[in-house]
Structure 1
Amino acid sequence: MKYFSIILIAAIGFVSCSKDDSPSPTVTPTTSTQSGPNLIFKLYFDSTLARLDNLGNPSTIPTGNSAQSPVFHKMSAHYIEFAPDSLTALGNGEIVYHGAETSIGGSDAVDFSQARTKGQGEVFYTIPLSQVSAGTYKWLRVSLTYQNYDIKFLVPGFGLQTGRLASFVGFNTYITSYVINSENISVNGNKLQGYWGFETNVLGNTYISEGQSLGTTVPNPISNTSPIPSGSCVVTGNFPTPLTISGNETTDITVNINLSTNNSFEWRDINNDGYFEPSDGVNPGDTVVDMGLRGLFPTYQ
């Protein structure tokens, strides 16, 4: 058992996103309490949605790799924008949400203490429709900053295990402390994109590991006409039917942020057995090559 916690740190090269070059906030990030019609955003994680690459094309798992669909518990986003068409540059659309930031850690960062963290089917954000510009919008952009989900991994001699991953995928995050599953981790400082914490319990013993990572897939189907700046974490998806806001609504509009978790946790499978094995105690183990989400498929009602 003594090598168990070490292999999690040494072998799990978790990947994430880099700096979100979104413009300064134009919307105060507070939930509306007014009784009038609202624009409501809800989160959904779906492993049956298409698995896309960076350009928004269908993506298969390369030979020599394996993947699994994580079980998502929570997620946070830092930025939401409507785009009228595929030529709309990032920041030139209708920005409806931009989360709190702070420089208390020395440089500008997402303030995790004020971040909205929600789960499956929960309301992520609400804004009065009176504060949203009238128009017809074909695309939705969302900058995702935090993920919390379970993965399965194999430990020789102990069988298949479940671990909980907390991954900070924003450009920079100021964290006082956070809870992975049951354990509270104190940070009290800034963490650059890709900082993660991992918690698992084997035979009654809890193991915690932390680390920093590299980069990840960020699907953007309109990258040819409206590219996302290098290092950005903004995922882009189109509405099946354009969303029209007239300014004369009398009822709420709910936008579902449907995110693909289809085989989003991918690793180099050394022995091609389909199991994620960070180490067998002797030979180099499997290494993670991608994680996170594989597409944004927004709908509304």
Structure 2
Amino acid sequence: MKLLKPIFLLAILLLISCNNDDTECCANPEPQANLIVKLKFDPNQERLNNLGQPASIPSGNAAQTPTISRMSANYIEFAPNAFTGLGEGEIIFEGSKTTEGGTEAIDFQDAIFAGNNDVFLSIPLNQITPGDYNWVRVSLAYQEGDIDLLVNGVDYTGTLASFVGFNTYISSFNINGSTFTVNENKLQGFWAFEALGFTSQGQAPPGATTVPNPLFDSSPIPQGSCVVTGQFENGLTLTGNETEDVVVTLSFSINNSFEWTEVNTDGKYEPEAGEQVVDMGLRGLIPMVD
């Protein structure tokens, strides 16, 4: 009888091995469950102030609801309760930082972006400590969207880039084909604007950017940090034994979130009249488990 060819013999040995109950060589690995974080920009969500309370537009100011196209965050934390201090909860995401501009700052060139109802983050659930979480903290870094303005009696739509992080190192960025070269750190409130090829940039006053924190009394946040806080309606429980993805949607209020001082009392943003941007912060956060 002829000897079996080596390749044929190897195939038989592998088949025998895979029929052995003591081996897992032919078993299909279980799919890994992930935490998926999505962003949502809600124009109808309640408009809140820094204390997380309903807020109206101050006398002498006007506001509008922008159309946000994309956003970036630099930090996301799950907190078990109202007394969990900033940084003492489960930090699920930290973005890149740099000292290229001197002091530590968010590295805008390495930022992650997501649009409305888009996935911002996906991480294996086994990397998150099991537990009951009731609050979410999100340090926002950047938002970009369209706003309406009035110039010489004509209505236009332009694109606004808002750097709302505590401190951001920006080498350059592009809005609608127009490049802004910065190469330095910019504090919270730096903005840039483009419409029909016209560009401008400026800086909102310190502390002017609204950062809603309903836990102001029990868990304060540093001024200028842009850490928006929101509560899960029914909490979020992670057991560590999840076999399916868990989807958390971070719904941000953009309800009249772009605010300026009025020179002409007409409810329209008129930069040429000297109307100044005073606030471009988000107006609330509601985290939801889908």
TM-score of Structure 1 vs Structure 2, range by shorter chain: 0.7 to 0.9
Alignment pair present for 1:268 and 2:261: yes
Q: In the alignment, does 2:178 pair up with 1:183?
A: yes
Deviations for 1:23-57, whole angstroms, at most 9, x for unmatched residues?
Answer: xxxxxxxxxxx940000110110110000001011
Contact 1:133 1:247 in 2 (8 A): yes
Query: What is the CA distance between 1:267 and its match in structure 2?
Result: 1.9
Distance 2:203 2:264 in 1: 25
> Structure with the greater relative contact order (CA < 8 A, sep ≥ 6): 1 or 2?
1
- Contact 1:270 1:286 survives alignment (8 Å): yes
- Which residue of 211, 219, 222 corresponds with 2:212? 219
Report whether the alignment pairs 1:237 with 2:238: no
Partner of 1:163: 158
How many Å separate the matches in 1 of 2:152 and 2:183?
Answer: 36
Asked if residue 259 in structure 1 is aligned to residue 252 in structure 2, the reply is yes
Give the Cα–Cα distance (whole angstroms) in 2 for the partners of residues 289 and 166 of structure 1. 14
Q: Distance in 1 between matches of 2:258 and 2:125?
A: 37
Q: Distance in 2 between matches of 1:131 and 1:87?
A: 24
2:61 partner amino acid: N
- 1:131-142, aligned counterparts within 5 Å? 131-142=127-138
CA distance in 2, matches of 1:66, 1:209: 20
Q: Secondary structure at the match of 2:126?
A: helix
* TM-score of the aligned structures, taking structure 1 as reference length: 0.82
Who is 2:44 aligned against? 48
* Cα distance in 1 between the residues matched to 2:45 and 2:172: 33
Q: Choose from 106, 119, 125 the match for 1:123.
A: 119
Deviation of 1:289 (Å): 2.5
- Count of aligned residue pairs for this structure pair: 259
Q: Which residue of 2 aligns with 1:173?
A: 168
What is residue 12 of structure 1 aligned with on the other side? none
- Superposed CA RMSD: 1.5
**Which secondary structure state, in structure 2, belongs to the residue aligned with residue 130 of structure 1?**
helix
The alignment status of 1:197 with 2:205, answered yes or no, reads: no
In 2, Cα distance between equivalents of 1:40 and 1:291: 27
Q: Contact (CA 8 Å) 2:251, 2:285: kept in 1 or not?
A: yes
Question: What is the rounded CA distance, in whole Å, between the counterparts of 1:167 and 1:176 in structure 2?
Answer: 15
Residues 105, 190 of structure 1: 8 Å contact kept: yes
Q: Note the C-alpha offset of 1:274.
A: 1.4
Which 5+ residue runs of structure 1 have no aligned equivalent? 1-33
Q: Which residue of 2 aligns with 1:102?
A: 98
**Runs of 4+ deviating beyond 6 Å:** none
Q: 2:149 aligns with which of 128, 153, 157?
A: 153
Secondary structure, aligned partner of 2:271: coil
Structure 1 match to 2:13: none
- Establish whether residue 288 from structure 1 lines up as the match of residue 277 from structure 2: yes
- Which protein has the larger Cα radius of gyration, Structure 1 or Structure 2? 2
Rounded to whole Å, the distance in 2 between the matches of 1:271 and 1:210 is 21
Q: Could you tell me whether the CA contact under 8 Å between 2:70 and 2:145 is conserved in 1?
A: yes
Q: Secondary structure at the match of 1:149?
A: strand
Unaligned 5+ runs, structure 2: 1-29
